[in-house]
Chain A
Amino acid sequence: MLLDYGKAPFLILLLAVATGAGVLVTHQRYEERRPDLVLMTHAKLHADVYLAELPEFERKYGVKVDVQVVEQVALRTRLLAAFAAGTPVPDLVEIPQDAALFLRGPIRDIGFLDITKWVRSMDLEDKMVSTRFSMWQSKGVIFALPHDVHPMMLAYRADIVEDQLGIDVSKIATWDDFVAMARRIVRYGDDGRPPRYALELQNDGGYLLQALLLQRDVGLFDSAGNVTFDSDVAADTVAWAVRQLRGPQRIAYSLGFGPTLWEGMQDGLVLFYFAPDWRTRTIEQFAPSLSGKMKLMPLPAWTPGGRRTSTWGATGLAATKGGRNPELAMKLMEFLYVDQTDGGKSSADLHILSPVRSEWSLPIFDRPDPYFRGQPIMRLYSRLAGDVPADYANPFIAKAQTKRDGAFVAASAYYSQHGEDGFVEFVRAELRRQADAVRAVIARNRITEQ
């Protein structure tokens, strides 16, 4: 009788019923076979390490753990949607630094478990680099365990800087020293020879400007959530960076991320680049021809005796409130992030320094790296790790980054047009204007933050 309407509608109906049933059955089967814990990460490299380590955990507790890799932006949007809709979420999630968005709203509504007591009961703020907890806190409550420290150094073409030009980088203690040294390196291509610059900086500010600011303890926000990127120190740093990129005696050049940076380093277009620990692995991977030609040095300080490092990037591991087995999730968190089950091998292989201080004394960290002329690079990073500046989490971090970089771009345009005339005053005013715009957004949202 249903065929009275023709075969096509009947087939469509059958198809709809079949697919609906298929979805239900698949979901049911997944729920039946669902592992005891699901860990979601945005980094495939991390997942590979965990997959190698997890069998031991699974044997120890007699459980099954599933590791899922989801692209960073997709992870953020899906997780936010899942929290809002109350749909199933993974037990543990590795979240990148820009995911401070999840820390919005009243503490009771945040989708992650409050692990403050657990962290303090295990004394982890002392055992790990304490400043790294700043990125996963809201109103004094800790929601994630830091995965890394990401201390920053300068990586440079030793074959040119030392062998050809005879520069002794150990004598470079401050950024003033660096700029003076850079004058010997830089050529603008007007003498028929290819251009060459000393330092890679981004034209639009970005993470490198942020690293320079953090080195001077200027974050986007302070620990109380106040906008801080319009201070005098911030204006001074922005002005310095603009001069190095746009000034008549510029020493810096923007190559951007990824392939263009590695091409530029191989061609000798730029000789120094900002290298947090993870970026040493990237260059080894993408510029193999530079093996044995590169070396690392600490960042020059802003003042004699000042901080010789900064940081770029962060990942944290959080347990979700919607997870099925919070206790087991905490055990896995401890196993992966705190216990040194592999003798530091994963840290050394990934070139990602763990924030667990005791790991730094492991012998594997003295392993020489032939790419960097035999320097024990993880040892060099670990020496700086304790001095890495704090960078405070804030739900409005993306907005603040955009605004601060907007000020940088405006300052660059002003400098190109007017030079030093009124430049510093303009930078101050522009930073204040952009910071006020962020303050206005925060003020508007204050009501839902309580």
Chain B
Amino acid sequence: MKADVVDPMPPRRRSPTPRWAPYLFIAPYLAVTLAFFAYPFAHAIELAFYQTAGPNARVWVGTGNFSYILSDPDFRTALRNTAIFAVVGTAVMLPTSLGLALVLNSGRGRLRAWFRLFFFSPSVVGQIFVGIIFAVVLAPDYGLLNRFLQALVGWGLETRWLENSATVMPAIIITNLWLYAGFNMIYFLAALQNVDPNLLEAARIDGAGRWSVFRHVTLPAIRPVAIFVLLISTIGSFQLFELPYALMRSTTSPYGPNNSALFIVGYLYDAAYSIGDLGLASAVGWVLALIILTVSLIQLRLTGAAND
């Protein structure tokens, strides 16, 4: 049988599109990118090889900034703090976020929406606000946490979380966890809700327990999202600045006792806005970019995501 053939509509008469039209569309994007990304990017490369003082004075130092950074004990402290925060912070963040997502995913009804909002809301207010609030929460003698500990276990009223170099890092990690666990939970929750229910049901019918279902069905299904969360958490950890800066403002130094809250971006900020050497700050920026790139590539390789 011959299929019905529908005559195509006669082509409308159109005026020819000028050749410059595509360029016009991308012109705003190009202008903004050139002004606020390409130019600063190129200028930062150039600056990294100079030492600067004030708006105009600068001296060519070659790779001097890089060798200085690598030999500076303060940078090593910042690097160590950042690495500890990235490893421990991410190691705590991922299971917490996933755990919250699993709990919410198993719940039903309106409560789930409320809990989702409850856990997500801290990330809406931002790092500065959370830093200021937690500085009060963690204050000795009158802080909410210490009062709570005192009432609960009869200890902790005078604990100085932000004045003791041993407790500064845990305080920052916990604050960061409070801030971002709900945010990452949303990614996991979305991934969990996209796991094929037929696969889950088939596994259960085959006799798999809850742990086996999670281990062999759920986890592989949400693996791309988990890798994504791992990557953005790690990159975010290396870019950490506002949270410890705001948190430690209640103490004398924004970098904590013995530089225990000094991170790489803090070191960069200090070079630019405390010492006033934009050349050194640019070099730190490049070192940081290199570190993030390396760590991200290693993560991609280890997780096998690079092959996907």
Point out residues on A near B: beta carbons under 8 Å: 1-2, 4-5, 9, 12-13, 16-17, 20, 76-77, 80, 83-84, 86, 101-102, 104-106, 109-111, 202-207, 254-260, 263-264, 269, 395-396, 398-399, 401-402, 405-406, 409-410, 437, 441, 444-445, 447-449
Contacts and interface: CB of A to CB of B under 8 A. Distances in A.
Given A1-B15, A2-B21, A109-B55, A206 B252 contact: yes
B259 interface: yes
A241 B141 CA distance: 21
The 6 A-B pairs of least Cβ separation, nearest first, read: A105-B54, A206-B252, A16-B28, A448-B53, A105-B53, A105-B57
Interface in B88-147: 136, 139-143
A1 B258 contact: no
Contacts, number: 143
Contacts of A395: 53, 275-276
Given A76-B273, A260-B142, A448-B51, A254 B160 contact: yes
A447 B59 contact: yes
Given A105-B56, A204-B252, A269-B141, A447 B273 contact: no
B10 to A, nearest CB: 18
B278 interface: yes
Contacts of A12: 25, 28
Interface string B244-282: 000000111101011100000000001011111110000
A104 B251 contact: no
Interface of B: 14-18, 21-22, 24-25, 28, 51-59, 68, 73, 136, 139-143, 160, 163, 165, 250-253, 255, 257-259, 270, 272-278
Contacts of A207: 252
A254 B163 contact: yes
Nearest to A107: B54
A204 B251 contact: yes
Given A4-B14, A405-B253, A445 B53 contact: yes
Nearest to A448: B53
Contacts of B55: 83-84, 86, 105, 109, 111
A449 B253 contact: no
Nearest to B143: A260
Contact of A396 (B25, B250, B253, B275): B275
Contact of B257 (A111, A204, A448): A204
B58 A409 contact: no
Contact of B136 (A110, A259, A447): A259
Contact of B28 (A5, A17, A77, A447): A17
Contacts of A256: 139-140, 163, 250-251
A80 B276 contact: yes
A204 B249 CA distance: 13
A130 to B, nearest CB: 27
Contacts of B51: 444-445, 447-448
Contacts of B21: 1-2, 4-5
User: Could you tell me the dominant secondary structure of chain A's interface residues?
Assistant: helix
A255 B68 contact: no
Contacts of B272: 80
Contacts of B165: 409
A398 B274 contact: yes
Contact of B140 (A2, A109, A260, A441): A260
Nearest to B51: A448
A412 B70 CA distance: 29
A61 B127 CA distance: 46
Given A77-B273, A257-B250, A395-B276, A2 B24 contact: yes
8 contacts: A2-B21, A2-B24, A2-B25, A84-B55, A106-B57, A256-B251, A405-B252, A405-B253
Contact of B274 (A9, A84, A101, A258): A101
Given A80-B273, A255-B141, A396-B275, 19 more contacts: A1-B16, A1-B21, A9-B25, A12-B25, A16-B28, A84-B55, A104-B54, A105-B53, A109-B56, A109-B57, A204-B252, A205-B252, A254-B163, A259-B139, A402-B255, A406-B258, A445-B51, A445-B53, A448-B54
A203 B28 contact: no
Contacts of A104: 53-54, 276
A213 B25 CA distance: 64
A37 to B, nearest CB: 22
B166 to A, nearest CB: 10
Nearest to B160: A203
Contacts of B56: 105-106, 109
Contacts of A76: 273
B19 to A, nearest CB: 11
Contact of A402 (B25, B73, B139, B253): B253
Contacts of A445: 51, 53, 275, 277
Contacts of B258: 406, 409-410
Contact of B52 (A5, A205, A441, A448): A448
Nearest to B29: A16
B141 A260 contact: yes
A76 B272 CA distance: 11
Contacts of B276: 80, 101, 104-105, 395
Nearest to A105: B54
Contacts of A204: 163, 251-253, 257
Contact of A101 (B28, B68, B273): B273
Nearest to B273: A77
A203 B163 contact: yes
A188 to B, nearest CB: 11
A147 B251 CA distance: 26
Contacts of A258: 250
A13 B28 contact: yes
B54 A83 contact: yes
Contacts of A401: 252-253
Given A84-B278, A399-B274, A448-B59, A4 B68 contact: no
